[in-house]
């Protein structure tokens, strides 16, 4: 019983820490906002071809200086092919690139260029928000069908928490928020849901096996029985994402950071919020008591 009580207290402490982090995240989002990328604000995207010996660092330093803004430079396929992204749509593109690149490559070529208008960026924000909202609604319907509604509520709360924690990090650090980060958020939702379903499924099995057992003790037993699987899955995924973070370059930095934080948060919240909230709203083992047993007990 001592072990059960200690685990319950740990879950309560984890939930208190989660609430503090959640408050900080929401405050950061409200006060600082996001550093929206070109995908959402609009800007210029240009593909150029240079000599193979022109490096990304050299290219970016000349472009930043000549255009007086932060230019994103990413490798695009073969050696010497680059994609440039910057905010100012009023610049004369050819003149600006000549000013920046002629000193390092007099034979550079612009192979493609396009302008992303602010309206397109606004549509992307709306579509991204709708995609996340649709995921929430479908997830709620699925969990309510598969599990008792209290467990479904805990899983949804953990899911919302994970998304807000990732968003809060991007608000605090002002790392650029672009479409790759939005894709990472959707991946985080799937990962968080997977963690919550594993634990919820185990809780359902334990409750059905012992419908007259003590709730906190059975919840702790369910968590302990799935903990090793959860940690191994999270650990192996983090190794892969960390490699992506270290080796993927600046283009994948936001994506990898969002995934890393989301995986850690998903593991944390599925154990804390995902199990404590259902308990707070009255989850009991007898909610999973087999119907046959209930029928027999009601007979005179």
Each residue's pLDDT tens digit, 75-87: 776 778 888 888 7
Which of 82, 97, 116 lies at the terminal end of a domain, its last residue? 116
Q: Which residue has the tokens 């934080």?
A: 261
Helix axis angle, 179-209 relative to 215-247, nearest 10°?
160
Structure tokens belonging to residue 152? 């479904």
> In terms of domains, do 110 and 56 share one?
yes
Render pLDDT for 102-151 as a digit per residue (tens, 0 to 9): 888 878 888 887 777 666 666 777 887 787 788 778 877 887 787 778 88
What CATH number is associated with residue 171?
1.20.1640.10
Among 11, 19, 273, 288, CA closest to 156 = 273
Give the single-character DSSP code of 213: S
The answer as to whether 298 is a domain residue is no
| Residue that terminates a domain, selected from 62, 90, 116 | 116
**pTM (2 d.p.):** 0.77
Domain of residue 83 covers 43-116
Decide: 8 and 83 in contact? Cβ < 8 Å. no
State whether 105 and 249 are in the same domain.
no
């Amino acid at each position: 019983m001592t072990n059960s009580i200690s685990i319950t207290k740990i879950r309560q402490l984890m939930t208190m820490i989660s609430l503090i982090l959640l408050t900080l995240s929401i405050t950061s989002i409200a006060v600082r906002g996001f550093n929206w990328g070109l995908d959402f604000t609009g800007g210029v995207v240009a593909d150029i071809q240079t000599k193979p010996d022109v490096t990304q660092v050299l290219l970016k330093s000349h472009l930043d200086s000549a255009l007086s803004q932060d230019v994103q430079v990413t490798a695009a396929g073969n050696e010497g092919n680059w994609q440039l992204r910057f905010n100012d749509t009023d610049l004369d593109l050819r003149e600006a690139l000549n000013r920046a690149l002629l000193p390092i490559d007099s034979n550079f070529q612009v192979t493609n260029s396009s302008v992303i208008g602010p309206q397109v960026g606004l549509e992307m924000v709306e579509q991204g928000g709708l995609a996340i909202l649709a995921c929430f609604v479908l997830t709620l319907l699925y969990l309510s069908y598969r599990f008792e509604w209290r467990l479904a509520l805990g899983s949804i709360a953990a899911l919302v928490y994970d998304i807000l924690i990732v968003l809060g990090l991007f608000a605090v650090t002002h790392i650029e928020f672009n479409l790759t980060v939005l894709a990472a958020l959707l991946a985080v939702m799937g990962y968080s849901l997977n963690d919550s379903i594993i634990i919820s499924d185990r809780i359902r099995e334990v409750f059905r096996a012992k419908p007259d057992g003590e709730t906190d003790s059975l919840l702790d037993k369910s968590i302990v029985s799935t903990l090793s699987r959860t940690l191994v899955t999270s650990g192996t995924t983090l190794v892969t994402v960390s490699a992506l973070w270290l080796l993927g370059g600046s283009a994948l930095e936001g994506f990898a950071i969002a995934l890393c934080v989301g995986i850690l948060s998903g593991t944390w919240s599925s154990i804390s919020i995902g199990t404590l909230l259902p308990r707070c709203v009255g989850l009991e083992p007898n909610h999973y008591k087999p119907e046959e047993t209930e029928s027999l007990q009601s007979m005179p």
